[in-house]
Amino acid sequence: MRPRFVMLLFFIMVIMVVSCSAPNRAVRKDEPVSKSQTPSWFSKTIIPQGEFIFSVGHSQPRETEQEAKDNALAKATEEFVRYCKVDVQSFDRSIEVYSKEQGKEFSKSSFEAQGVIRARAFVSRALPEDWYVRKEKGKFLASVLLKVPKEEFDRIVNEKNIKLSLDVLFYYEGEDGRMQILNEGDVLKSGDGYAIYVKPSDSCYLYVYQVDALGKSFRLFPNQDFETVLNPLPPAGDLWIPNATKLFTLDETTGKEYFYIFASPDKMPDFEGQAAVELTKKDIDNVVGIKKMGVAGVKQKSDTGTVVPPKKNQAVAEVKRKLQAEGAFVYETWFWHK
């Protein structure tokens, strides 16, 4: 009887050891995490909380943890856009303006998807509060709780009616033949060459006038004589006025000269047609209540190489902030002609 008792005791001890150790079995890295370990926010979408709004995003299976996190941020951003009740285009424009004002650039070639670009840019204002990363079947999954200041929500909602924005830079040809930025208040001389760079956010009708110190006005764009594109402009396209290979030149009338840039989602009849190329001061005053300017002609560029607008230039941000509106607008800048 004694050997049997010893064997029975041995089996009982084995069963107890197995029972005690089973709950503490290590979870393999490629196994899913149990639901009891998921955070409380996992099943939420938007969580308004005082001065902050929390947005939740879940990734698709990805090869690396970073790819999963990028995808989760993109999804959280999309959920936030829906909550703001704005279209993605308006949201992207809001991010673009903010980024340029902060001197930041987000290269589209750096990321796989537009959603990831949008998320990376937006996270400069919103911060991940918590992450839930796991691995299933050899793939990474990520979930994020994105913390957004309510003031950002208010700002984006207020900007949702912006229908059009415009990047504009003014250039002149330096003594070395290279194009340089013409800032407001700079000095040009008679015979100097200059050009205007424009990039609209959306399809629009553009009208560019110049007016000299005598009140003589001239429509720089649209103008078929300069062999450039005509209205309406395509969205996000680079446009050089007069065109990519030529420059305007200043006449002999010195003084303070102005550029006026009109942009509108719709055609502006007062500025259409050949008759509107040279409007009188009275004509212009009757339409918009401002003066306009003249130009001597055009000339060939000394340096025919491509001019690349600077990516990090505060002038872009300043003009960009002014040139955006729900409908039509006009922008004015000036320089000295001496």
Tokens of 274: 């050949």
* 217, 292 Cβ separation under 8 angstroms: yes
Give Cβ neighbours of residue 43 (< 8 Å, ≥ 6 apart).
none
Q: What is the pLDDT along the chain (338 residues), one digit of tens a residue?
A: 556 655 655 555 655 544 444 444 333 433 444 445 889 999 999 999 999 999 999 999 999 999 999 999 999 998 998 898 887 766 776 776 666 555 565 555 444 557 777 777 788 788 999 999 999 999 999 999 999 999 888 888 876 666 677 788 888 888 888 888 888 888 999 889 999 888 887 778 888 888 888 877 888 898 888 777 788 888 777 888 988 888 888 888 888 888 888 888 778 888 887 777 777 656 666 665 433 334 444 455 555 555 554 443 344 444 443 455 455 667 777 789 88
Cα 303–Cα 216–Cα 266 angle in degrees, nearest 5: 80
pLDDT of residue 298: 46
- What's the farthest any 2 CA atoms get from each other in the chain? 125
Residue 36, φ and ψ in degrees, nearest 5? -65, -15
The candidate with the shortest Cα–Cα distance to 197, out of 88, 307, 75, is 307
- CA 100, 105, 107, 112 torsion: positive or negative? negative
Cα 46 to Cα 49, 52, 254: the distances in Å are 10, 11, 60
Residue type at position 213: A
Burial track 292-311 (b if 16+ CB lie within 10 A, e otherwise): bbbbeebeebeeeeebebee
CA pair distance 216, 288, nearest whole angstrom:
16
pTM of the model: 0.49
